[in-house]
Homo-oligomer: A and B are copies of this chain.
Amino acid sequence: MAQENLSARKAVHFSSGHSINLSAIRKDFPVLSQMINGHPLVYLDNAASTQKPMSVIQKMQTFYEHDYANVHRGAYELSSRATDEYEEARRKIVDFINAAGSKNIIFTKNGSEAINLVAYSWGRHFLNEGDEIVLTEMEHHSNLIPWQLLAEEKGLTLRPVPIREDGTLDMEVLKKVIFSKTKLVAVTHVSNVLGTINPVAEIARLAHSVGAKILVDGAQSVPHFSVDVQALDCDFFTFSGHKMLGPTGIGVLYGKEEILEEMPPFLSGGDMISEVWIDHATWNELPYKFEAGTPPFVEAIGLGAAIDYLQTIGMDWVWEHEQELTQYALAQIKTVPDLEIFGPTENRAGVISFKIADIHPHDVATFLDQEGVEIRTGHHCAQPLMRRLCIPGTARASFYLYNTFEEVDRLVAALNKTREFFK
């Protein structure tokens, strides 16, 4: 299918700078070379979680085999090694998102905890009855429920901004609902359902113009294109390690230093203290104030290796490659009879949600699975968005740097087969 077309694309590809070889990349990911139900695996659930390159798996293994000890509290060799590697990982994050320094980077267990930390610590401390939080109809539950709970506790008002027909955010409404009572704008950088890329730099300006803070949920952006948190001028920025080639068990909260300084602790216990008496305590400096107990430091080190990998490939290449795949996929998928794609056609990330006729997404997934094509179905933790679209869920294919044009073809062929069966 479209073979010339394909080679043309690949030429463009290789002319775009370095000579990156997709099949070499795929060899770095052991999981990809397996058969599922008799077919080579086509992994298209990258928005839920990505696969891990050998270098990440091996980094953690080597660390456990040679350098393992608890961090921060030891005056001996192994513990120094562990502490150094943990802090080195933090510096890699600093560079990757262009934070000002290590004080801005707090390690959490996942993207959700990072948002909860802000809701509990900053939200409970600085928000009061009548204050308003602006968010969007396309938020992942992780950037919605923490604010619902906070709103209930504090008597705040949530202002959801609707999406337009084309799946983009309604900026006219957004401009209207942000006003003097707005204290926070919580918005996803990229929708995990529609692929929509929100103009967060502009939204940050709008938020700051009324003195509000902005939290950007970067779970679906940081893995795919280069992000500069200072250029975006966001106050908080959160993401997950497991969606960017890193291990599970690790997430990141970036925050501006002056804001983090003023926030009370969230989780408390070992390591986040300075001095402790039986009835009170004082806090450690940033970022440790927010890291209670033994942190997921091997996971942080694994995430550091993931960032090394991404930087070797180059985030520009990653983004370009995904863009080409996405444009190709959008064009090809559309040829399946009775298939409807949700979300914008341009200026969008490699997350494609769709439905075919009245075949339930769950049935689609089972069919595709039989062909070795692994996609996600359901509400994608975005039930309010499903209500808005008047559907119970979607089928969703999402790409990452190791996906190929041939895999898109396999997806399309499987979709056609599904359509045939249920006709």
Contact = CB atoms under 8 A, between A and B. Distances in A.
Interface of A: 30-31, 34, 36-37, 41, 43, 45, 48-49, 51-52, 57, 60-61, 64-70, 73-79, 108-113, 115-116, 120, 137, 140-146, 148-149, 151-152, 158, 160, 240, 242, 247-251, 265, 267-273, 275-281, 292-299, 362, 365-366, 368-369, 374-378, 380-381, 383-384, 387
A148 B45 contact: no
Contact of A146 (B111, B115, B269): B269
A278 B158 contact: yes
Contact of A70 (B48, B113, B279, B369): B48
Nearest to A248: B298
Nearest to A37: B77
Nearest to A152: B280
A142 B267 CA distance: 9
Tell me which of A109, A148, A279 has the highest count of chain B C-beta atoms within 10 A of its own C-beta. Answer: A109
Nearest to A275: B383
A405 to B, nearest CB: 21
Interface SS of A by simple majority: mixed
29 contacts: A30-B64, A30-B65, A31-B68, A34-B66, A36-B78, A45-B69, A45-B74, A51-B68, A60-B60, A69-B374, A74-B376, A76-B366, A108-B109, A109-B109, A109-B293, A111-B293, A111-B294, A112-B267, A112-B269, A112-B293, A113-B293, A140-B270, A141-B270, A145-B272, A148-B280, A149-B268, A158-B279, A160-B278, A276-B383
A271 B378 CA distance: 12
Contacts of A52: 64, 68
A248 B112 contact: no
A270 B380 CA distance: 9
Nearest to A240: B294
Contacts of A250: 249
Contacts of A116: 267-269, 292
A77 to B, nearest CB: 5
Contact of A145 (B110, B268, B366): B268
Nearest to A276: B383
A316 to B, nearest CB: 27
Contacts of A381: 73, 269-271
Given A293-B113, A299-B248, A270 B65 contact: no
Contacts of A66: 30-31, 34
A77 B30 CA distance: 17
A248 B375 contact: no
B267 A36 contact: no
Contacts of A276: 141, 144-145, 383-384
A48 B384 CA distance: 44
Given A109-B249, A271-B381, 10 more contacts: A45-B79, A48-B70, A76-B376, A77-B374, A109-B109, A141-B276, A152-B280, A240-B293, A240-B294, A269-B381
B142 A270 contact: yes
Tell me which of A48, A120, A160, A250 has the highest count of chain B C-beta atoms within 10 A of its own C-beta. Answer: A48
A75 B377 contact: yes
A137 B146 CA distance: 35
A279 B387 CA distance: 13
Given A140-B269, A268-B116, A269-B140, A76 B45 contact: yes
A159 B164 CA distance: 57
Nearest to A192: B270
B249 A31 contact: no
B383 A277 contact: yes
5 pairs of A and B residues whose beta carbons are closest in the complex: A112-B293, A142-B269, A249-B296, A249-B249, A112-B269
Nearest to A140: B270
B374 A146 contact: no
Given A269-B146, A374-B69, A64 B31 contact: yes
